Amino acid sequence: MLAKKTSKNQITLPQGIANAFPDTEYFDVSIKDNGIVLMPVKITPAVSVLESVREKMRKLGTTGKDVKEAIRWARRKR
């Protein structure tokens, strides 16, 4: 399959390739061995990540005070 880079550095994926990733909106782009590599990426909303962190903290029994102390410890001068 062939894809052309436009003057605006855009590349349209061939239909067959795009169809292989129907639910993918974002790709991580890198260079490997003089070629372009596209890896599908799933973007997780920050709210979802935050909720999972809060849930883990609840399970571990971590309190707001614990977090403040950890931040204070991490920021202390050495």
pTM of the model: 0.54
Q: Give the model confidence (pLDDT) of 48-59 as tens digits.
A: 888 899 999 999
Q: Which residues have C-beta within 8 Å of that of residue 33, sequence separation ≥ 6?
A: none
Q: How far apart are the first and last CA of the chain?
A: 58
- pLDDT per position as a tens digit, 4-52: 999 999 999 999 999 999 999 999 999 999 999 999 998 888 888 888 9
